[in-house]
Structure formats: structure tokens, C-alpha cells
Amino acid sequence: MSNKSYIVGFPRIGEQRELKKSLEDFWAQKCTFDDVKKVAGELKSRHWEYQKKAGIDFISSNDFSLYDTMLDTAVMLGAIPKRFQALKDEARYFAMARGNKESVAMEMTKWFNTNYHYIVPELSLEDQYRLNSEKIINEYKEAKAQGIKTKINLIGPITFLGLSKRVDRGETYALHSKILPVYEELLREISPLDDEITLQIDEPVFVKDNETKVLSLIKPTYDRLAAVSDNINIIVTTYFEHSNEATKVLVNTPVWGIGLDFLHGPKNSESLELIAKSGKKLIAGVVDGRNIWKNDIEATLGLLENIAKSVSKENIIVSSSCSLLHTPFTLKYEEKMDAEIKNWLSYAVEKLDEVSLVTKLFFEGEDKLNEEEKRALADNRKANESRRTSTRIHDAEVQKKVPDFKKLCRDGAYEERIKLQKALLGYKELATTTIGSFPQTPEVRKARKEFKNGVISKKEYEAQMKAYIDECVAFQEECGLEILVHGEPERNDMVEYFGEQLKGYGFSQNGWVQSYGSRCVKPPFIYGDISRPKPMTVDWITYAQSRTEKPMKGMLTGPVTILNWSFVRDDKPRDEVSKQIAVALSDEIDDLQNAGIKIIQVDEAAFKEGYPLREENIGTYEEWAVRDFKIAVSSARKETQIHTHMCYSEFNDIIKTIEAMDADVISIETARSGNELLKIFKEIGYKQEVGPGVYDIHSPRVPSVEEIVKQIKLLLEVLPKEQLWINPDCGLKTRKWEEVKPSLTNMVEAVKIVRNELNR
């Protein structure tokens, strides 16, 4: 058996984050670029070896990158922004990614609906594109020297253009005719590398709702690329959703194969008849590259058998659903994890064996397995059986409470609530507050760490945290802020903190996933039914409230954000998991208000990034996301004021949804865009109160009083003073006190000036 198992791409950061460490050393001038190249070489070689050992037939080259593959593609095409053109080699490459003294870095943004960020290429009509195929050819040769014949990965021209931006006016797709010849030239250069070459061209942009204009580029592009050379087999790969519109066109081009994600784009099955008729290879993405659960081999075989009802078996290749870049590396280093839970998981290295085993079962059947494979299959069945039945996952109480939960929204209409709240809280127009966190100082981090590692006692830890809260309260009173916060010193991360206290949540030791460049995140994972064994924030918040006469704002993370920043169980629909979190949060809110807290903020920083890729799924998402925010706050009495915070400002598409969440106050990021983005609130007649950030917290710069006065006046041009709150753009945890103190003092001063002018 050969040419049957396939991996779209492999993580590159290294199982011990070796690449991260080497890059960061290099940037700090602690090692040379040759050292980095050496580490990179070892990683590539090790990763190829893992895949070979697992018996994977299609192993990639050029899935590796020192920073990002979109950036690599820009370099391959010679799409170098002017400000970097004088630089060379690695100096130029890393300056494009990270900026340097003279020039700001290129923009970075999220790769579809993942938490991976790519560098956004900057294109302009006057660009002269020129092929630089060095990296691609070298990597191919490196693997070959190791005895591994790889498929070459490449980001396709249509996706490249779709994700780039024009720095002059015009659209990126207008540059198609300039870019395509460079791709053709690349194909001519790789053709002589071997008798037969497999080229995987990633076109994930095909899973979005594309205009006809974009779809009309597909046929000419792939007709031309496929015509370059007979010995190159082109596979066009998509992932994260279905790409039916594109598939319809691709079957009429001479490409060799089509790669589809059947897990995150189940509708791809609608294209099976067409693919069957075309006689092309189907790279069937059936092992999840976006999650950490052990594959359910029986279910995967069922899925493959269904596919085989249309496409003949000999044309099917078994694959991961997308690059394994989006999963952690290997379970090998998870030494502390509970054995039962660990047995339910599978990271990238483990997924290789799963793809292999599924392939063998699908094509040859159980009888043909060797002893080791038989054992692996038995273990897999046992693990899945344990997941189906474990009481650590299935909590009868939650399963009864959550579907029965009937309190779907708060009591009282907004107008009635806000009147009560204003009477009770007595805040003025342009009320001042902050988003929640204050600087996470080295001392605060140290105390948390020492407590976690058992170096200091609970008592000592609490004393230190309380002392810090005291300082935060004292400072806020001193500078004259009106609605206070406790500062969040006890929180490492706004999701992890709640995950650690919710039942049904797990944590890894080494589950790092690349986020951008050398940065990795370690998302917690939801494995079971979620419940709240005991109050999570009440002690801290009531302590903080006891230190001041002013209202202390309770601080929670919302259900949608908790969900979107975790790996989520795949044995239950996301909206059910989200509802479980919402119900747990509603109990927390009730406890907070019963303890005397009058304002509670429920952060939904990741509400917008959870949006589906396809229009057709947006309605459903909005429905349950809004439902669960409302469930979370449903316990709040009319006079308890609910705030929410969102880390962006572009609300034009989703303003009606935001309004439907019915928070009494929403704080958003607007400092960098004046009042432009606030206008939509006025346009639709948004009634609730809004706190548009008046200064940008992402930079260490201290804004002057005049600047903030000007910004507040801009806001007042759009919304009346009664509807506005004044606050920074986001939480202050990444800033230093030296910046925070003068900034907030200036903010309060600016409000005083504006209020005086208004009352004159």
C-alpha cells in the first residue's frame, strides 16, 4: 500500500518550542543566524522522521517557516514593501515580521477562524514581482537527502491575493495577472527536481463566501498552472469549511487532486458525485487537525465508507482535516496530566498514527493489522468507550439543570433598569472607569507562581494579593476614578482563571500551539460537563468592595469568550457547552449581587472572532451566542448594572447583535479611530450606555489631558453625554504603573474639564 495516507502540514515550533527559543535568542543577539538555521534544520529533519516512522505517505516540505508561511510566500514572490527593500536576507525577513527602528512591522491578522496569525502582504500596482524559489527548493532537497520524497506545500495565488492588502488604491485581485506568471515560473523550476512531483496548493480562501469575480479566477489559474509541466501533480487543498463553489470549478481543470475538510465542512459531501465523475484524487480530511481529542476510529471509518459510496476507493487518500499546526505537538511531555484524561487526547504526533491506522483499516481491513496495530486499535476503542461513559465527563446534575434552565433573560426593560441603577449608583454623566486589570507586576506574578508551586502558603498568597488590591483601590480613589475595579492580580489569564475553577476543564503542561512568530498559547480544554463547584470571584470582589465607598465592579469572562479561547469537547455541540458555561456564570452573578456588588462586567473579548466563516452559519451562531450571554446575566436584578467589554471597534456588521445582548453598558476599543466607528451606534438608535476607549493601551505612551479632552469632544459629537462613559481602550495588565498612573490621572482631569464646559 502506498500513496494513501496524507498530512496537510506539520507544526514547526518544535516539541520543546526549540524554534521559539532559538529565534528569541537570535533576536536578543545571544546567538547567530547560523545557530537558528541549525535548529531549524534539526527540527525539519525530526518532524519528517516522525511522519515517516508513522507510515505517512504524503509528507510535506515547505510547511516549515521561521516566522510565517504567508510571509514566506510574499518573499517567494518578491512582494517586499518599499520600506524593507534596502535590507537583505534574514535582516529583511524579520524586519518585515517584527519591524525595526526605522520601519513598522507589516500588519498581522488571524488566519481564518484559528488563533494563528499571519503577516498580511502589502501589494501595490507598481510592484515588480520576481521569483525567489530558494527556500522551497532547498527544503525539498533537504528532505530528499534524508531519504524522504516530500510533497511541496504552497499557498495558492488566489488565497495569497485574497489575504493581502493594497497599499495604493485598488483591489488585490487586480494583481492576479502579475502574480500568476511567478507561480508558473516556480512550477517550471521545481519540475526538474524529480520524475514526479506532488504539489499541494492551499486555497483556504475558497471556503469563504466568494464573489463570482473571485470564483472566475479559479479556472484560468489552475488551467495554466497544470499546463506548466506533466510531471507535477497539483492538489488544491481547502480546510475549515466546505468549498463547494470552488470544487465545482476545479473538477473541470487538469488538477490531479482536491483536498477537502469533511469535519469542519461536512457540506463538502455535496461535491462527492462531481469529484467521482472527474476521476480526480480526493484527499479526504477526516482526522481533526483543529482539536486535541483522540480520533474515534469507528466514526472515521464510517465517514470514509460514506465517501466511498460516491468516490471509488482507489481515488481516496486519507488525511488530516488541515495542517496539524493548530494542535499541540506531542503528549510525550504531559507528565502531570491525569492518566484517564490524557488517554482521551491526541496531539500532532499521535495524530500521525491515527491517520496511518485509519488508512490501513479503510483499505485493507482489520484482519491485515499487525500485532502492534491491533493493540492500538483496541486501545483506541477502549479510550473512546471511556469517554462515552466516564462520570468525569457526564454529569447527570448538569445534564438536568442546563436544558431545564428557563431564565433566558433579565427582568425589566433597559429603560426601567437604567433608571433604578442610576438612582442607586448615582454616577454622573461621562462616568469614569477602567476595563478591569491593573499592571501585572513582577511581584504579583511571582506571588502567583510561588503559591502554585507550594512555595508560599494560601494565607501568605492572599495577604499579598489583598495588599495589591488595596494599592489599586487607593490609587483609583486618589486619582478620582468613579467606578472602581479590583485590578485582577489573581488572574493569569482571563479564560484560564475561570477554567481552573470550573468542573469539566483540563489543563496541559506542554500543549503549546503557535499563535504568531515565536509566540505560542496553551489553551485550556473542556472535556466534560461544566459546572461551578463554588463561587469563583466573590471573595476577591467583596474584599475590594470592603475597601471603598465607591461602587466596585465585579469582573467575569463571558461564556462565548471562555469557549472560543479553549479547546472544546467534540462529543457535544458547541452551543450546548456554551450554555453550560452560561448557567454556571449566572450563579456567579447571583452570588456577587447577593454579596452587595452592584455592577458586574462580563467580558466578551472573543465574541467577534467566534463568527463562522460562512454567512449561512452566522444566524445560528448569533442566536446561541446572544442567548448564552443573556443567560449568563439573567440572574442580575434590575438594579444590578451589567457591563460588557469587547476588544475591537468595528461593529457595523454586528451592531444589531450587540444591541440584542442588552448589556446596560458596553466598553469598546475606539481610541485609534476617533469617533468614526462610534457612528453606527447613533445610526441604529442604540439606547444603552457606551464607553468608547479614549486612549490606546497597546502602547506605553502617556496621553495628555488636552488629547483626551479632544477625544471626549469627538465622542460627544456622536453620542449625548448621558449615554457616554469614559475609560481606556482595554485592560491595563500589560502596562507599567509609571504609564498607568499619569494616563488615568490625565483621563480623569480631562473629564473634569469637559464636564465644566458642559455645565457652564
Is 605 or 690 the residue whose CB approaches ligand GLN more closely? 605
Please state the closest distance from residue 700 (CB atom) to ligand GLN, in A. Answer: 17
By DSSP bridging, strand 117-119 and strand 108-110 are antiparallel
Cβ–Cβ contacts within 10 Å for residue 314, how many? 9
Is 9 or 436 the residue whose CB approaches ligand GLN more closely? 436
Choice among 47, 117, 242, 698 that is catalytic: 698
Interacting partner of 12 out of Zn ion, ligand GLN, none (Cβ under 5 to 8 A depending on kind): none
Number of residues that bind ligand GLN (CB under 6 A): 13
Q: Which stretch binds Zn ion (CB under 5 A): 169-177, 209-217, 529-537, 728-736?
A: 728-736
Pairwise CA distance, residues 406 & 401, whole Å: 10
Please state the closest distance from residue 491 (CB atom) to ligand GLN, in A. Answer: 8
Is 240 or 498 the residue whose CB approaches ligand GLN more closely? 498
Is 719 or 732 the residue whose CB approaches Zn ion more closely? 732
Please state the closest distance from residue 440 (CB atom) to ligand GLN, in A. Answer: 9
Reference 524, options 506, 497, 502; nearest CA is 506
The reply on whether position 436 binds ligand GLN by CB under 6 A is yes
Residue numbers 675-734 binding ligand GLN by CB under 6 A: 730-731, 733
Q: Which stretch binds Zn ion (CB under 5 A): 185-193, 503-511, 615-623, 725-733?
A: 725-733
By DSSP bridging, strand 525-531 and strand 503-506 are antiparallel
DSSP designation for 493:
S
Pairwise CA distance, residues 417 & 431, whole Å: 17
Cα 198 to Cα 8, 233, 401, 753, distances in angstroms: 12, 5, 53, 68
Interacting partner of 151 out of ligand GLN, Zn ion, none (Cβ under 5 to 8 A depending on kind): none
Interacting partner of 733 out of Zn ion, ligand GLN, none (Cβ under 5 to 8 A depending on kind): ligand GLN
DSSP letters, 577-589, are: HHHHHHHHHHHHH
DSSP designation for 105:
P
The residue count for the chain? 760
Pairwise CA distance, residues 370 & 375, whole Å: 9
3-state secondary structure 587-623: HHHHHHHHCCCCEEEEECCCCCCCCCCCHHHHHHHHH
Which residue, chain included where needed, has cell 525530526?
Answer: 46
Number of residues that bind Zn ion (CB under 5 A): 2
Residue 698 annotated in active site: yes
Is 303 or 555 the residue whose CB approaches ligand GLN more closely? 555
**Closest residue to bound ligand GLN by CB:** 731
Q: Which stretch binds ligand GLN (CB under 6 A): 435-443, 543-551, 588-596, 681-689?
A: 435-443
Cβ contacts of 577 within 8 Å, gap of 6 or more: 526, 530, 563, 568, 569
Are 175 and 125 in contact by the 8 Å Cβ rule? The answer is: yes
Q: Which stretch binds Zn ion (CB under 5 A): 286-294, 341-349, 647-655, 739-747?
A: 647-655
Three-state DSSP class for 410? coil
Interacting partner of 437 out of Zn ion, ligand GLN, none (Cβ under 5 to 8 A depending on kind): ligand GLN
Interacting partner of 75 out of ligand GLN, Zn ion, none (Cβ under 5 to 8 A depending on kind): none
Which residue, chain included where needed, has cell 496553551?
Answer: 522
The reply on whether position 494 binds ligand GLN by CB under 6 A is yes
Query: What's the CA angle centered on 417, arms 620 and 581, to 5 degrees?
Result: 40
Q: 344 is written with which cell numbers? A: 482521551
Interacting partner of 664 out of Zn ion, ligand GLN, none (Cβ under 5 to 8 A depending on kind): none
3-state secondary structure 5-20: EECCCCCCCCCCCHHH
The reply on whether position 484 binds ligand GLN by CB under 6 A is no
Give the residue, chosen from 40, 218, 318, 605, that forms a contact with ligand GLN under the rule CB under 6 A: 605
Pairwise CA distance, residues 261 & 251, whole Å: 16
Is 580 or 601 the residue whose CB approaches ligand GLN more closely? 601
The reply on whether position 730 binds Zn ion by CB under 5 A is yes
Long-range Cβ pairs for the range 347-352 (8 Å, 24+) = 347/292, 347/511, 348/10, 348/11, 348/324, 349/15, 349/50, 349/54, 350/294, 351/287, 351/288, 351/289, 351/295, 351/320, 351/324, 351/327, 352/7, 352/50, 352/51, 352/54, 352/56
Is 497 or 567 the residue whose CB approaches ligand GLN more closely? 497
Is 72 or 488 the residue whose CB approaches ligand GLN more closely? 488
Residue numbers 628-657 binding ligand GLN by CB under 6 A: 645, 647
Q: Per-residue string for binding with ligand GLN, 544-583, x by CB under 6 A?
A: -----------x----------------------------
Is 666 or 754 the residue whose CB approaches ligand GLN more closely? 666
Give the residue, chosen from 647, 694, 726, 754, that forms a contact with Zn ion under the rule CB under 5 A: 647
The reply on whether position 398 binds Zn ion by CB under 5 A is no
Q: 744 is written with which cell numbers? A: 488615568
Pairwise CA distance, residues 411 & 642, whole Å: 12
Interacting partner of 436 out of Zn ion, ligand GLN, none (Cβ under 5 to 8 A depending on kind): ligand GLN
The reply on whether position 541 binds ligand GLN by CB under 6 A is no
Please state the closest distance from residue 337 (CB atom) to ligand GLN, in A. Answer: 28
**Backbone dihedral angles phi then psi of residue 481, each to the nearest 5 degrees:** -65, 150
The reply on whether position 433 binds ligand GLN by CB under 6 A is no
Is 77 or 605 the residue whose CB approaches ligand GLN more closely? 605
Which residue, chain included where needed, has cell 462515552?
Answer: 388
Cβ contacts of 616 within 8 Å, gap of 6 or more: none
Active-site residue set: 698
- Binding residues for Zn ion, rule: CB under 5 A, are 647, 730
- Binding residues for ligand GLN, rule: CB under 6 A, are 435-437, 488, 494, 555, 603, 605, 645, 647, 730-731, 733
